[in-house]
Amino acid sequence: MISTKRFVADNDSGKRYSLTLVPDMPLLDILYIDDDLVAINKPHGLLVHRSPIANDAPEFALQLLRDQLDRKVFPAHRLDRKTGGVLLFGLSKDAEKLMQQQFQENLVDKKYLAIVRGYTDDTGEIDYPLRKENGTLQEAFTKYKTIARAELYVPFGSHPTSRYSLIEANPETGRMHQLRKHFSHIFHPIIGDRTHGCNKQNKLFKERWELDTMLLHASQLTFDHPLTKMPIQIEAPLQEEFLRVMGIMGWDSK
């Protein structure tokens, strides 16, 4: 198979890194790259890496990015399959290990955008422990603020309209499915979340707007570089389906 090259610049130094382009291979959107780290805007629906519980997936972020950069990459954290946004990799085992340590110690500031059912409070805190698969409870804490609200003249159940909120969430701990579980806990489930969300709302969005995407987006990571110690902030623009629903709600996407 014939491949070609293009180049992407380091965000800080301007140094150029070559990317191998293979025909028909999806090109991941690289948000940041330097000698130690690379971040992509992971599409909704793309697994981070191969998993025995998702045998249906033909592509994975780790393998696609490895082939695109023509070098090994090591995931520094995880995003759910249906979550889009900033996904960070180390370009060495040392960088991976140091970044994973920062995530585990809650030294990385994480921001997400989500569209949820109902009108959320202007600001809020969710302090609700979550249970691991082995039954152990772990502390879990999330802050959020409401960015916009919408009321659609679409009947839902006994209600003549449907209400939704766009929120920015800041999970201060990093538990599995934390935001999905937390917003379900306060009765504002994330639209498109099949496991912890509202099946009736998901069906409404599927049938009326042909939406099969979970409306959760990892919008920003802020941390100190594990090797240079310089402050790093990486932002990911919203993707097509999230923007489409924002249009349905009448919200400005800028």
Q: Which residues pair with 224 in a beta bridge?
A: 231
- For helices 199-209 and 240-249, the axis angle rounded to 10 degrees is 90
177: left (phi over 0), alpha (psi -120 to 50) or beta: left
What angle is formed at CA 46 by the lines to CA 205 and CA 130, rounded to 5 degrees? 75
| Block residue for tokens 């399959």 | 81
Q: What share of the chain is helix, strand, coil (3-state, %, to 5)?
A: 20, 35, 45
Amino acid sitting at position 89: F
CA distance 98 to 95: 5
Please pick, among 80, 94, 109, 212, the residue that the annotation labels catalytic.
80
CA distance 76 to 91: 10
36 among known catalytic residues: no
| Block residue for tokens 């629906």 | 45
The catalytic residue positions are 80
